[in-house]
Amino acid sequence: MNEANESSFFLCGVNDLSEGERRKFAVGSSEVLIMKLDGKIFAIEPMCTHDGTDIAQVKIHPVPGTLECSKHYAVFDVRTGTPLRGPFGADGDTQPPLRLYDFKIDTGRIMLSAKQEWGIVSEDS
């Protein structure tokens, strides 16, 4: 991350992402997966909540906005983080949701908020 202020980190420009594209960024010890679906930007932690598998490169279904973990086939709604199906077809209620990141778009730039609901994102962490 080159640009940061005390409250946010620059990830990339909105126009740098094509429809359906995703990019993974590291900010300190945190990883952020951003993607553009249906013209909207979403930011999640790229880790399956079942066992920590990296889900940055798994198959994304643009409609209805889901991704499927390639290891145990859990399915998540990327817009809300909600697990729709658990590992090996179990009920989605069997695992926690994906962690969503708060961000804002400022003059076409995707800015990750340092203060998240679950803690602080820092380049020093």
Cβ–Cβ < 8 Å for 73, 85: yes
The answer to whether residue 105 is domain-embedded is yes
The answer to whether residue 120 is domain-embedded is no
The answer to whether residue 121 is domain-embedded is no
What confidence tens digit (pLDDT) does each residue in 58-68 have?
A: 989 888 899 99
Q: What Å distances lie between residue 124 and 17, 56, 100, 107, CA to CA?
A: 27, 23, 21, 26
What confidence tens digit (pLDDT) does each residue in 1-51 have?
A: 445 556 899 999 999 999 999 999 999 889 999 999 999 999 999 999 988
Pairwise CA distance, residues 69 & 23, whole Å: 17
pLDDT of residue 2: 42
The whole-model pTM stands at: 0.89
Q: What Å distances lie between residue 63 and 25, 59, 99, 107, CA to CA?
A: 24, 12, 21, 28
pLDDT of residue 90: 86
The answer to whether residue 47 is domain-embedded is yes
The answer to whether residue 82 is domain-embedded is yes
Print the domain residue range for 34: 4-114
Pairwise CA distance, residues 86 & 83, whole Å: 7
What confidence tens digit (pLDDT) does each residue in 70-122 have?
A: 999 999 999 999 999 999 888 888 889 999 999 999 999 999 999 998 888 98
The answer to whether residue 33 is domain-embedded is yes
Hunting for tokens 């399956």 — which residue is that?
A: 48
The answer to whether residue 124 is domain-embedded is no
pLDDT of residue 83: 95
The answer to whether residue 62 is domain-embedded is yes
CATH of the domain at 94: 2.102.10.10
Q: Kind and range of the H or E element at 30?
A: strand 30-37
Cβ–Cβ < 8 Å for 112, 32: yes
Number of structural domains (the chain) is: 1
Residue 112 phi/psi, 5-degree rounding, is -75, 125
Pairwise CA distance, residues 18 & 109, whole Å: 14
